[in-house]
Structure 1
Amino acid sequence: MSEKAIVIDAPGGPEQLKLVDMAVGEPGPGEIRIRHHACGLNYIDVYHRNGTYPLALPARLGMEGAGIVEAVGEGVSHLRVGDRAAYTSQPPGAYATARVMPAKCVLKLPDAIDFETAAAMMLKGLTVQYLLRRTLPQGGLQAGDFVLFHAAAGGVGLIACQWARALGLQLIATAGSDEKCALALANGASHAINYRRDTAFAAKVREITGGRGVKVVYDSVGADTWEGSLDSLAPFGLLASFGAASGPVPPIQIGTLAAKGSVYVTRPTIFTHIATREATQAMGDDLFAMVSSGQVRIRIDRRYALADAAEAHRDLEARQIVGSAVLLP
């Protein structure tokens, strides 16, 4: 069976993305074959393409998708042929019309959620789930607590704004323009800071919080926000660095954490959290409930044909995509 897939033969720019014919066989034990109706687009795909996160070459890209289960391998009991399903999973390979893949991170999709929404939300939504539900400061988070969330007008950020509002948290959003700040506020952020204008955003955070700082900072930006994120923390606060869109975080001196108020730093990844089928199902159930209830709405800003993956990557790197985007096979 021959299908279409996006492949790179070498790391580099968007021009490396090639649409090729790819043989897709039958699933082995613990695997399924899924026919995609939509594929998600995420910044981690750029890291895979440009070699920041090296892959064995030639390599396929794409970490999330949604579609119909076409075949089920031995030992898979939670999915059946014909099920609507969605996933975020390793190894990469979602940029394809169909694929064979491990079944443990593939979840049956509720009827209330369409394929495009599912493909746009799995990696981003499960990221927000593990951040707001599992990556917590001392004593956890309670309604009324302040949190700082960088890049709040992106796909992950807009979900986080809505989810934080549902939890009663006061989310302070940062974004790179007044328009993006307004979008974060419209999606549930309590405050918004344009970090291109207010470059010393930590001072603004202190002003908003009455001088105390926030209990937790969720930072996917990396190098550009690192120092300000540390300076935004309350004593015993937590800095969760879950990405590096502006470049790697600089080396840290352990004594800095003492000087900043006995603060904590962690570098979580979604794939640690979804390492088992049971954990993936529990997290997915939480995400599906938030979306099905309408408390979290997934904004799809752009749709691209699978063959136009290079254009999608150019727009992603140029920060032209607000919210989420999908590739359509």
Structure 2
Amino acid sequence: MSAPLIRVLVVDDSPFMRGVLPPKIESDPRFKVIGTAVNGRDAIEKTLALQPDVVTLDIDMPIMNGIDALKEIVRQSTSSVIMLSARTEQGAAITLEALALGAVDFIPKSRGVERIHEKLLAAVEAKTQRTRSASPRPAAAVRSTAPPRAAAGARLNAKICVIGSSTGGPQALQAVLSQLPETLPVPVVIAQHMPPNFTKALAQRLNDTCKPKVVEAEDGMTLTKGTVYISPGGMQTRVTATEIKISPDQGESLYKPSVDVLAESARGAFGKNVLGVMLTGMGGDGAAEFAKLRKLGGYNISQDQASCVVYGMPRSLVEAGGADEVLPLDQIGARIKSALGC
């Protein structure tokens, strides 16, 4: 018996986008566009009437904009929302606001609308995860096959902290970094799956709301303790023992930035003295290199299933035997503090 089609509502005031997106979405036979809407008010009405699995929601629309529509859709329905965002600094900042309000992910408006099917699948997984979390009978957790090597709360001899995240990552990073002090004893380098411009806006937003200094990483920056570096979108980030290296992707990964690429460089530069943290996201990026870090003597913390927007990257790490601890999101920041002795 074939799986039911994933039902999508397309919302955009542009006739061009309403003409382009449906056939693009339906080019994958798993998806069916069940309707279109021309503004935010129309989006709310059709979401409640049609009950789509996923809504693709433009931001800048007449009558009611996408942000105001998002608030009502999140409040009144179980549909997951993916924002369509302009590739500008202003568009990036508004998109991050939408993510904070409950949008699952976003797609930059561009010719071809990059990775749309992957994003839609992640949004469906997020809807399933919300339903699972709300159930009175929690789903069984996937447990790591790795034996514990340190008592909970133990201090570690880490010289760098590497964090990987994707779908749901901006909100998870906010939750984690907001628990960290200004005086971190090591640098923190983050690979969040996100395109150019958006990582700069993310760094600015986190810097404005969290105690540690947060910057978008640049090639040649010195690795400084107490600073959090966001890997720039569209590029690959590596670390040496003293600095950050940014370079165009040379076919290393589908993801730019890639958690695997960053973690591999951290392993080469710092050996076993790496604290790895894997947060919410679809797919398995980072699991292979985090597992190698652990085998070498590094230490990894993975977000648990119940608190993930999408339990993909953490699941892959746990199943690979690379997770030393599996914790809910609201405990990860505190555990990083105790691990680093701050």
Structure-1-length-normalised TM-score: 0.36
* Structure having greater relative contact order (Cα 8 Å, sep ≥ 6): 1
* TM-score, with structure 2 as normaliser: 0.35
More helix by share: 2
